[in-house]
Chain A
Amino acid sequence: AQSVTQLGSHVSVSEGALVLLRCNYSSSVPPYLFWYVQYPNQGLQLLLKYTSAATLVKGINGFEAEFKKSETSFHLTKPSAHMSDAAEYFCAVSGGSNYKLTFGKGTLLTVNP
Chain B
Amino acid sequence: EADIYQTPRYLVIGTGKKITLECSQTMGHDKMYWYQQDPGMELHLIHYSYGVNSTEKGDLSSESTVSRIRTEHFPLTLESARPSHTSQYLCASGVSGGTYEQYFGPGTRLTVT
Contacts and interface: CB of A to CB of B under 8 A. Distances in A.
A43 B43 contact: no
A20 to B, nearest CB: 20
A99 B40 contact: no
B74 interface: no
Interface in A11-54: 32, 34, 36, 41-46, 49, 51
B100 A46 contact: no
B109 A41 contact: yes
Contact of B101 (A43, A49, A104): A49
A49 B106 CA distance: 20
A51 B99 contact: yes
A6 B21 CA distance: 30
Q: How large is the interface on A (under 10, 10 to 19, 20 to 34, 35 or more residues)?
A: 20 to 34
B101 A106 contact: no
Interface in B81-105: 90, 92, 94, 98-105
B42 interface: yes
B103 A100 contact: no
Given A34-B101, A43-B90, A103 B43 contact: yes
Interface string B22-52: 0000000001010000001111010010100
Given A43-B90, A44-B104, A105-B41, 13 more contacts: A32-B99, A41-B107, A42-B106, A42-B107, A43-B92, A46-B101, A46-B102, A49-B101, A51-B98, A51-B99, A90-B43, A94-B100, A106-B42
Interface of B: 6, 31, 33, 40-43, 45, 48, 50, 58-59, 90, 92, 94, 98-107, 109
Interface of A: 32, 34, 36, 41-46, 49, 51, 88, 90, 94-95, 99-101, 103-106, 108
